[in-house]
Amino acid sequence: MQLLAARTAVLDGRLVTPGWVLFDNVVQETGEGIPPARVLNAATAHSTLVDGVLCPGLVDIQLNGAFGIDFAEATDDEWVAVAQQLTSTGVTAFVPTLITAPVAELARRLGEYGAHAARMTRAPAAARPLGMHIEGPFLAERRRGAHRADLLCDPTPELVDSLVDASAGNLSYLTLAPERTGAIEAIRRLISNGVRVALGHTDADAATVRAAADAGATLVTHLYNAQRPMRHRDPGTVGAALTDPRLTCGLIVDLHHVVPIAVEVAFRAALGRIALVTDAVAAMGMPAGRYELGGDRVDVAPGLPPRRADGAIAGSALRMDEAVANSVQHCGVDVETAINAATRVAAHAVGRGDLGTLAPQAAADLTWLGDDLLARRTWVGGELAWSRDREPSASVGAAP
């Protein structure tokens, strides 16, 4: 078994100084303070991290692609390549996203996903796939963002069933606009088939959002963006999302999609219900240039988010560890809250209580973030998956 001791750690959602984790493929034991002799004796390897933060592996529940690869067009090998490279960003589990396309095409991709997931799961040093997210095509035209207007449609029982059937249980959640004709019934239909529902790209008023939550919706896709804003006489989607305890809200903290004060407002209003997401496209981890999102061209200028030819923001180039760092360094969010938003809150939102936490019997997925809150090392299932420096550094010393 391995032992990691750290001057600062997030254990079972709580920041401790110092703390330690004893693990093999799962977490065996954690503790605050200096590891006791019995724990030191049980460990076959022991390292002490003297800077940064030891925390659960980061969980990204909205990812369209990365490292030059768009999931809508990815080959089997490319799916594996993304999963393996994600660990360099501190991510140990993720939900790949497909945006609006013809329903038949989405169904085909869902049908293929099982084989991709099996390969990613077997691949060494790869982040865990957690089922798919379909964002569209049941969205509001007025709030469509980068989604194609000609492909938007109502969620009829036949279309919903075609996606559920094709997924063979691999559809984690689906984003829809609850004001579309048939949407409330579609939410019930999806929930009854084990598929979570997120509200997004919507012009719904607060009453409609509450009705959707009554029907079983539990998530909100990229809070603030492409949804009816909050006004003092019309609380809209945003107001309902921030005040309804049943809804977990995804939030893109790249400092472009949402300005810092709005990020701070979200965390203060919905503490414990904000899940950091990247909504990253193929441009993540790549230089500025031209990429694809759902088969459409997006352009990325240095330091700016991806945009379609019509100027609409189209996802992000954000890394998950950067989302944590931005939240703390620019938005007034404390380290514990930011890390929980990128780990346990996100994992629980997609039904994975065994991930996103360092607690006994949880998966041994760990990330060591440096003082800059960017990934230094990442472990998946107890195995070192990535290290900024494969050689031992002054920050890590083996126990005598």
- Annotated catalytic residues are 279
Alpha-carbon distance of 35 to 16, in angstroms, equals 13
Q: Is the four-CA dihedral 52, 55, 61, 67 of positive or negative sign?
A: positive
Instruction: Please choose, from the candidates 127, 57, 65, the residue with its C-alpha nearest in 3D space to the C-alpha of residue 96.
Output: 65
Most distant CA atoms of the chain, gap in Å: 67
Q: Are 199 and 222 in contact (CB under 8 A)?
A: no
Q: Which of 375, 326, 323 is nearest to 346 (CA)?
A: 323
Q: Closest Cα partner for 374 from 327, 331, 333?
A: 327
**Which residues have C-beta within 8 Å of that of residue 60, sequence separation ≥ 6?**
86, 91, 93, 94, 95, 277, 278, 280, 320, 342, 346
Task: Give the whole-angstrom CA distance, residue 94 versus residue 129.
Answer: 5
Provide the strand spans (E) within 156-295: 171-176, 196-199, 219-220, 248-252, 274-277, 289-293
39 burial via Cβ count (<10 Å: 0-12, 13-18, 19+): buried
Contact status, residue 251 vs residue 276, Cβ threshold 8 Å: yes
Distance (Å, whole) CA 375 – CA 321: 6
